[in-house]
Chain A
Amino acid sequence: MQSWQGASPQTVVRRLLAAEPQMPAKPPTLASWGSWENMLEQGEMAQAREQLNRDKMALKQWWLQHLLHTQTPLAERMVMFWHNHFTTSINKVNQPNLVLQQHQLIRQHALGNFRALLHAIARDPAMLIYLDGAMNYKQHPNENFARELLELFTLGSGHYRESDIKAAACAFTGWTVDRNSNRFLLDAQHHAPNTQPFLGKSGVQDGEQALDALLEHPRTAEHIAEKCWYAFVSTESHDQAQTRQWANAFRSSGYDIKTLLESVLLSEAFWAQQHRGVLIKSPLDLLTGVFRALPWPGVAPSELVKYAEKLGQNPFVPPTPKGWEGGKAWITTQSLLDRYGILFQLTRTLPPTPLPVQSAAQIAQWLLATSPVKALTGDSPQQFLLAAMFDPAYQLK
């Protein structure tokens, strides 16, 4: 970071975006569907459940470890952004290996191209299971995936009709998962081409065409740009002129995610004084931030996963297909109390390393996104440190 001092925002943002995202360590080995099936057939329900829970925990810990140590946090933020966009809950899918596969897919495209990501997600086995797309048959269409595709993944609510959902559901009939290979399968016998107008267009017959029609619609880029506003600028209402401008850049680049991020991170809105320190840390921001600042001793990764869950952000288990609401919703009477309780647990033993800065003012500058609510008092740098971490301003980023 030292070498970046004095560099212009343009230089910094371009360097951040140009950095090759650091990949996490080798992922845990997870059981495949076949081994579950064998266990279940042999009546080994309890063992199967145990193995399942072990695999879920292994996967969560693996990601959390990477969040704690990554050298490319912006890339990681985008992995979380897309996980919270193309949500999938491991508790519904119940196949950790498929969720890992989806996670790697998101990781691959996180700073790549949204068109490619959207097309890949629509064929992703974990997504097909999570939103019941795998059971969308021409005789009995299941609208769950089609509905969330329009409402959450592309246009946003208010920009389509019920009839568009029905048309999309029909276009995606037969898109399923092959149970033997755990791969995408277009099952022709369950597919019926859509014959109804979709978003006012005729001829949108299959899923690929439906996705392309959604990518042609200006709302898709606007919706993603608005989500960037909430993730990077403010969770209060967005400036529509600004988000439209980002959306135009995004769309005319052919949905290049780095182009979008560059527009966001170099915008006046992002740098505006009124938008400093007005985002509330997510539970994972809070927990990983504690350890990224200092090597606090004595906390097992499994504990951190449990803390994240308690604070309302169980990784791989978004509460609804809409994901974590974020913003003010992170802080309720119960969750604020839990945040302080967990900070207390984590900071009981001071880290052995010396603090990088010593004075109260420097510590506030280092750890707080905005000035502390109460002046940091104490007799030592360690006391300033704890005062900063228990100040309500520590909850902001």
Chain B
Amino acid sequence: MNRRDFLKTLGALSILPLLPAEAAASQQPRCVVLVELKGGNDSLNTLVPYQDAAYYRLRPQLALPAQQILPLGNGMGLHPAMQPLLPLWRNGEMAWIQGIGIPHQNLARSHFTSIHTWETASEDQNVQQGWVTQVFPEQSQRLQGVTIGDELGPLAGNHFNAINLHNVDAFAAYISALPAVPAFSRNPMLAHILATQQRLLNAGAELARQLNSNQGIQQQFPNGELGEGLAAVARMILSDFNMPVYKVGLGNFDTHVSQPNLHRKLLGDLAEGLAAFSKVMQQHGKWGEVLVVTYSEFGRRASENRNLGTDHGSAAAHFALGGGIKGGMYGVHPDLDALDAGDVRNSLDFRSVYATLARRWWRRSSPWGVSDIPFIA
């Protein structure tokens, strides 16, 4: 007798409220690791249309030589620095989604309005709730998300129980010295400070209770912003916090000037960090429950500028990794002969990625009326 039949015989289905998607999801500790590529990644030199003559015409200095590209098929291939991720592609654990952008992009070429739009899934600059927060509308006593860095970004919003931190051990140790405070004030700024202090106290207690002494994992990750962030995330996942979301970041993608060496270094950090992360997750049997996805405020112009760099563009390709995804190439192949005012045409609303994660990964409803992308079964 399976579980459903068992419940039927008990008549439980008529007594219990219908199990909503939320409850089903909460039994499975599936999580998303968001990777922000800060500054606007040049996706044309990340996922490269290396057999397209237009690519070489638009980028006489910056185009990567075809023989250096790691081919993925259909004329697309990876920047050589992405080599550490190639095994995941071959295993069907890497999905590329092309042509993602903000529809009707007006001022969105600005870093600030654009990243705000990506973080909140809204072009209204007054919206303060992050898109993840919008997928999880109910209050939670337990920690729901952690960003490694200076801000909450997509996890922002009062009701979502998220924290930002730099070093997880130091963070947990310091909190124990903080005094309790009242929870409320009519002064909005004081209320914010008090709420933050309360959240710190709760998070500190939870970290102290739950975090395993598995610092050793850190040695398997490269140094630097992303590697250290991913190591902290790995430790929390392996400590069974069962949080639905984590966020890490890697800076400096705003390559207006002298792009080649900097971009190579950044993509190398990205690929090495994520390869280490997937390896650790696999070693501990967690890789099927984790989904990594990148985002960035915009792509960059199709043609290079005069300074061996690229300026702000619009659409871009991003990738997802995970043992539970359907790897492959999704979205519309960039047509460099039919640019939209100098940019790769924007063919997929960025909220489609969020809707896919909401419905197909977290098994929740999506607040956005956009279609899914089938990179998750």
Which residues of A pack against B, CB within 8 Å?
Answer: 132, 135, 137, 139-140, 142-144, 147, 151, 157-158, 161-162, 235-236, 277-280, 312, 319-322, 327-329, 331-337, 340-341, 344, 370, 373-374, 390, 392-393, 395-396
Contacting pair B107 A157 (CB below 8 A): yes
Contacting pair B107 A279 (CB below 8 A): no
Q: A342: shortest Cβ distance to chain B, in Å?
A: 11
List the 6 shortest-distance A-B pairs measured between CB atoms, nearest first.
Answer: A140-B306, A333-B163, A135-B307, A392-B193, A334-B165, A328-B192
Q: A375: shortest Cβ distance to chain B, in Å?
A: 12
Contacting pair A373 B190 (CB below 8 A): yes
Complex interface: stretch among B62-70, B195-203, B235-243:
B195-203
Given A332-B151, A334-B166, A373-B181, CB of A142 within 8 Å of CB of B196: no
Residue of chain B at shortest CB distance from A159: B107
Contacts of A373 in B (CB 8 A): 181-182, 185, 190, 194
Contacting pair A277 B187 (CB below 8 A): yes
Residue of chain B at shortest CB distance from A237: B126
Q: Decide if the interface of chain A is mainly helix, strand, loop or mixed.
A: loop
Partner of A137, one of B196, B257, B306: B306
In whole angstroms, what is the CA distance A140 to B256 when docked?
A: 12
Q: B124: shortest Cβ distance to chain A, in Å?
A: 11
Contacts of B175 in A (CB 8 A): 337
In whole angstroms, what is the CA distance A370 to B188 when docked?
A: 12
In whole angstroms, what is the CA distance A393 to B185 when docked?
A: 11
Residue of chain B at shortest CB distance from A144: B256
Contact-size category for B:
35 or more
Contacting pair B190 A142 (CB below 8 A): no
Can you pick out 7 interface pairs between chain A and chain B where the beta carbons lie within 8 Å of each other?
A: A139-B306, A142-B256, A144-B256, A235-B189, A327-B189, A331-B196, A332-B150
Contacts of A157 in B (CB 8 A): 107, 110, 112-113, 125
* B305 is an interface residue with CB less than 8 A from chain A: yes
Q: B273: shortest Cβ distance to chain A, in Å?
A: 21
Q: B358: shortest Cβ distance to chain A, in Å?
A: 25
Contacting pair A320 B111 (CB below 8 A): yes
Partner of B188, one of A142, A278, A344: A278
Contacts of B346 in A (CB 8 A): none
B window 291-340: CB within 8 A of A:
305-307, 311-312
In whole angstroms, what is the CA distance A312 to B164 when docked?
A: 13
The proximity string for B residues 171-211 relative to A, scoring 1 for CB distances below 8 Å and 0 otherwise, is: 10011011101100101111011101101100100000000
* B109 is an interface residue with CB less than 8 A from chain A: yes
Partner of A334, one of B106, B150, B178, B341: B150
Residue of chain A at shortest CB distance from B185: A373
In whole angstroms, what is the CA distance A234 to B109 when docked?
A: 29
Partner of B152, one of A322, A332, A344: A332
Given A157-B110, A320-B112, CB of A337 within 8 Å of CB of B200: yes
Contacting pair B178 A340 (CB below 8 A): yes
Contacts of B188 in A (CB 8 A): 236, 278
The proximity string for B residues 131-175 relative to A, scoring 1 for CB distances below 8 Å and 0 otherwise, is: 000000000000000000011100000000001111000010011
In whole angstroms, what is the CA distance A373 to B188 when docked?
A: 13
Contacts of B177 in A (CB 8 A): 340, 344
Contacting pair A341 B150 (CB below 8 A): no
Residue of chain A at shortest CB distance from B301: A143
Partner of B190, one of A137, A327, A370: A370
Q: Of residues A279, A322, A374, A392, which shows the largest number of chain B Cβ atoms within 10 Å of its Cβ? A: A392
Contacts of B306 in A (CB 8 A): 135, 137, 139-140, 142
Contacting pair B256 A334 (CB below 8 A): no
Given A137-B306, A151-B110, A277-B187, CB of A333 within 8 Å of CB of B199: yes
